[in-house]
Amino acid sequence: MDLRLKDKTVLITGSSRGIGLASAKAFAAEGCRIVLSARSAGGLAKAEASLRAGGATVAARVADLTRPEQAAQLVEAAVTAFGGVDILVNNVGGGQGGPHIANSTDDDWRAVFELNLVQSLRMMRLALWHMSGRAGAAVINVASISGWSPQLAMAGKYGVAKAALIYATERWALEFVPHGIAVARGPTLRRVPLQWPSELRAARRRGAGERSLAATASGRPRRPPATPLM
């Protein structure tokens, strides 16, 4: 498939594995120049080697994007390597701390919002002036179905932060119009193993059926999918 992306520079955060690495491979297949980033030097080196083995033009930099100075250094590394940024994929995200309000702290919530929302804003701000006016410039913020549909599976903080990212992305899309940069959010369709919270697992062991479990999780009776969408 020719998406007319040849020689575009694509900066992908959290790209040593999973969705980020899969995105890098897809862009590389279109002839893009790829900038990889991750916190793990070992995983990043393997991802870079894998792409180079396939003939891709790649640069890579270890960075913890919750640290502003490292985020700035990543963007500058991309500009130094390839002269600018055409496409930014904000893929970094995740959760930490207790899954429920009762067993999570203020610091847990701050950390999850930093990881899923604030660092994406930071990367967009840093990359903006290196993307403005470039033909076909675009930002893709990887969100989650958890930001659309409340569920007891996984941590509430993660879903709330992703919901904020979904809203913010639509706002940022308006702000970036004068710069000629498209901004889109992408709830992912990657299936992951079902992770029932402990109280639902206990109910299941007591013999509760899927329908009653779903009612507990959502407040209305319905049959859940075999695996939730992340």
Structure token digits, residue 58? 């790649």
C-alpha to C-alpha distance for 135 and 99, rounded to whole angstroms: 42
Structure token digits, residue 111? 């950390």
Structure token digits, residue 27? 């862009």
Structure token digits, residue 65? 């994007």
Kindly report the CA angle at 179 between 173 and 183, in degrees rounded to 5? 25
> What are the DSSP calls for 160-200, one per residue?
HHHHHHHHHHHHHHHHTGGGT-EEEE-----B------HHH
Q: Catalytic: 167?
A: no
10 Å CB burial of residue 29 (0-12, 13-18, 19+) is middle
With contact defined as beta carbons under 8 Å apart, do 3 and 30 qualify? yes
With contact defined as beta carbons under 8 Å apart, do 64 and 79 qualify? no
User: Pick from 183, 138, 177: which is nearest to 165 by CA?
Assistant: 183
158, 161, 172, 185: the active-site residue: 158
Active-site residue numbers?
158
